[in-house]
């Protein structure tokens, strides 16, 4: 596999579309279950249903970052040469390249998420950096708590106090880690190496989402703890 565009053969779909479909497949069951149980869809619930589903997909990518770290370092050189030769953005090429059905779960394929992202932040090709290690940590430590909150927010069958405590810890972790990443990006003066558009699209935008939504999550968690019920999520639970 020399370039992302060569992932052909048989049925396939663009990598970006596959990511969106994966998020949808994870989110739809929760939305359907919530509507079936509550007879309505709460705005906070919908937001976190999508957010949790997105995080689970990204956790898989972050596991790929760990297991394919050697290959990512070599792929960075490939993408850098490709960018020099074509003048195009590797991230766009990767997201629009067709991935064959038999490879949609391949760690090697999704490791290119990080190889192309390294064009904007070289930290992901260096296992000694904060960015590299904090994403690996997220990939391995947050899936269980994410699934727990997803299930609790959907059913309301877990004591609200317990859900609120777990949520407060997890959302604070995301807020702190993402804020520190942006700070480290500026301290390292990496913003000078990317265009303004690249900074806002690939650096600031994604990390802002991982700061702002967890801040809302902290609010919801505090409400769960103080209220002792799931009313903030539109659920009338009988459990304290």
Mean pLDDT in order along the chain per 10 residues (240 residues): 47 94 98 95 98 98 96 93 94 95 94 96 92 96 98 96 98 98 94 94 96 99 98 74
Give me the pLDDT at residue 236, please.
78
Contact 224, 167 (CB under 8 A): yes
Give me the pLDDT at residue 7, please.
45
Question: Residue 117 CB: number of other CB atoms within 10 A?
Answer: 26
Contact 53, 23 (CB under 8 A): yes
Give me the pLDDT at residue 237, please.
53
Give me the pLDDT at residue 6, please.
47
Give me the pLDDT at residue 11, please.
80
Give me the pLDDT at residue 10, please.
63
Spatial separation of the C-alpha atoms in residues 35 and 235, rounded to whole Å? 11
Query: Would you state the structure tokens that stand for residue 95, as one six-digit string?
Result: 């997201």
Spatial separation of the C-alpha atoms in residues 44 and 68, rounded to whole Å? 36
| Residues sharing a CB contact under 8 Å with residue 41, sequence separation 6 or more, in sequence order | 31, 34, 35, 234
The model carries a pTM of 0.92
Give me the pLDDT at residue 12, please.
86
Based on DSSP, count helices (H) and strands (E) in the chain, helices before strands. 10, 2
């Amino acid at each position: 596999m020399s370039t992302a565009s060569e992932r052909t053969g048989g049925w396939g779909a663009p990598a970006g579309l596959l990511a969106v479909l994966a998020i949808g497949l994870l989110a739809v069951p929760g939305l359907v279950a919530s509507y079936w149980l509550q007879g309505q869809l709460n705005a906070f619930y919908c937001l976190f249903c999508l957010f949790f589903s997105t995080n689970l997909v990204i956790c898989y990518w972050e596991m790929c970052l760990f297991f394919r770290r050697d290959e990512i370092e070599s792929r960075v050189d490939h993408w850098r040469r490709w960018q020099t030769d074509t003048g195009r953005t590797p991230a766009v090429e990767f997201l629009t390249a067709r991935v064959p059905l038999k490879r949609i779960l391949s760690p090697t394929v999704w490791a290119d998420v990080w190889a192309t992202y390294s064009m904007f932040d070289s930290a992901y090709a260096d296992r000694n950096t904060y960015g590299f290690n904090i994403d690996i940590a997220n990939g391995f430590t947050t899936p269980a708590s994410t699934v727990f909150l997803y299930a609790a927010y959907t059913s309301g069958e877990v004591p609200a106090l317990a859900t609120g405590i777990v949520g407060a810890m997890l959302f604070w972790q995301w807020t702190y880690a993402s804020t520190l990443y942006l700070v480290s990006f500026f301290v390292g003066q990496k913003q000078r190496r990317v265009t303004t558009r690249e900074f806002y699209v690939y650096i600031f935008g994604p990390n802002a989402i991982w700061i702002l939504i967890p801040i809302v999550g902290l609010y919801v968690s505090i409400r769960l703890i103080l209220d002792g019920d799931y009313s903030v999520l539109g659920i009338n639970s009988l459990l304290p």
